[in-house]
A and B are shown apart, each in its own frame.
Chain A
Amino acid sequence: EDKVVQSPLSLVVHEGDTVTLNCSYEVTNFRSLLWYKQEKKAPTFLFMLTSSGIEKKSGRLSSILDKKELFSILNITATQTGDSAIYLCAGSSGTYKYIFGTGTRLKVLA
């Protein structure tokens, strides 16, 4: 059965800390790994990774995929209170199938 597991489930840090969020996957016919940030409403897209070993960056956020070990990490450096959110990862298998993890709830304290 396809599954995506995220860890930790929740995390509390102070502003300025660096955090690493983990996502492991077992997805049949894997195509891509997606990261989303969810605050109070719609999950918003962060990254899509399809190739192993290539880091994607956007400001203080970066992510990398390891297709051999079947995992991805999302790094956030110099965290800010605005980074507080649920971070979701999903494995894509074909056009219609997206398997989501349960998310990591990040709280950044001022």
Chain B
Amino acid sequence: GQSLEQPSEVTAVEGAIVQINCTYQTSGFYGLSWYQQHDGGAPTFLSYNALDGLEETGRFSSFLSRSKGYSYLLLKELQMKDSASYFCAVGDDYKLSFGAGTTVTVRA
């Protein structure tokens, strides 16, 4: 099975940098994904790491350490529209198991 842990809430001001950590334990592992979900909306794909290291997509970056069972999502130059929930998810075959999500609140 899979077990993922991430903080429940993070608050930061506009323009700041936020790091959301995710630790996982899994019996099978193909990679780790990050999804964003705005209140009342659907989850949307942000990034994916299959190998150790950093992946960058615009203002967002994701890091993975397979040996440590650890990942983080870095949100740079925070904007109000970044206020949302962020989920890490591990893939085992074609099944994604999602963490409980981290609610990011961006303040002016």
Q: Are A and B part of the same complex?
A: no
